[in-house]
Copies of this chain bind each other. A is one copy, B any other.
Amino acid sequence: MYTFKELVQIFAEKFTVSHFPQYPATLYDPCDYFLTLGGKRIRPVMCLMGNELFNDISPDAYPVATAIELFHNFTLIHDDIMDAASLRRGMVTVHKKYGSNTAILSGDVMLLRSYDYLNEINSLHLKSILALFNKTAKEVCEGQQLDMDFEQQEAVSLDDYIKMITLKTSVLLAASLEMGAILGGASEGSCRHLYEFGKNLGIAFQIQDDYLDAFGDPKKFGKEVGGDIRQNKKTFLLIHALSVASPQQKDKLLKIMETNPPDKVEQVLAIFKEYQVDIWANQLKATYLEIAMKHLEDIAVISARKKPLMELADFLIQRDY
């Protein structure tokens, strides 16, 4: 068996090939460009890990992992257009570099290319892999649409926010693991537990991401804190604060968000602290992490095989703050 880090290395080597023809360069160069921006390749590695949990890695796991990574990059190219984002991983986004029209079309063709890779696998699992891939891909689109909708809405409930985050980010993590498991011949029960492990781990990760943006140690977090607060971004923290604050403090919070005072971050953080939003967030994260780990425990394979998934959980959820 491979460690999590070894699998990252193995996939990176396999993925560093050209996935597109050269002509027309105006269509395919943007695709190549975007893939060179890198990324942690977490999702395809999760596919390999889900596969190796049950058996030696199947040759089919690599094309499926590749399809997942191409799909993920397609969503990023299109999301960057929708978010009018100029930078991605410190580099110019596709629509800024090549124009929105080409970014739409290059994203489309990257999505289509992912289905080429899916079609490489043994017929035995093709239908179930396609079914899960399609379902998940549509859910990711639904999550992105809800995210855009919520940005226009004044009030969003915690349940709705969790639903959105689950669709937008967690289901792809969950499905990546499950696709690996399907190829590994796992039972339906094991597939379900592995999916729920990935889904809940993803939600815990997102809560942590929101937490760190507000309360992280800038030295360890690697970027300035308060970015979400400055942008009035709806996060776990803000949604919870708005739901538990007194009417006066809620009005104050909304006013700060509207007027953007110079000490906006400090003021918002003070209100968060007043309502112990930081403690609440850590507890909520722990709850989801616990659910995730329970599902991992309930998969009927020997514990040694679960080690890379434990490493993954440790990698995603830093306990060090």
- Interface residues, chain A, CB within 8 Å of chain B? 23-24, 26-27, 78, 81-82, 100-102, 104-105, 107-109, 111-113, 115-116, 118-119, 123, 126-127, 130-131, 134, 137-138, 141-142, 144-146, 148-149
- Known contacts A24-B146, A134-B112; A105/B82 CB under 8 A: yes
Whether B141 contacts A105 by the Cβ 8 Å rule is yes
The answer to whether B81 touches A104, judged by C-beta atoms less than 8 angstroms apart, is yes
Whether B104 pairs with A142 at a CB distance below 8 angstroms is: no
Residue A112 contacts which of B23, B123, B137 (CB distance < 8 angstroms)? Answer: B137
B27 near A102 with CB under 8 A, answer no
Contact of A111 among B111, B116, B118, B123 (CB under 8 A): B111
Between A and B, 19 residue pairs with Cβ closer than 8 Å are A24-B146, A26-B148, A78-B105, A81-B100, A82-B101, A82-B105, A100-B100, A101-B148, A102-B145, A104-B104, A105-B144, A105-B148, A109-B138, A113-B134, A113-B138, A119-B127, A119-B134, A123-B127, A126-B126
Chain A interface secondary structure, helix, strand, loop or mixed?
helix
A144 contacts across to B, CB distance below 8 A: 105
Q: Is the CB of B109 within 8 A of A24?
A: no
Asked, given contacts A108-B78, A112-B134, whether A26 binds B119 with beta carbons under 8 Å apart, the answer is: no
Task: Please name all residues of chain B whose beta carbon is closer than 8 Å to the beta carbon of A134 when the two chains form the complex.
Answer: 112-113, 115-116, 119
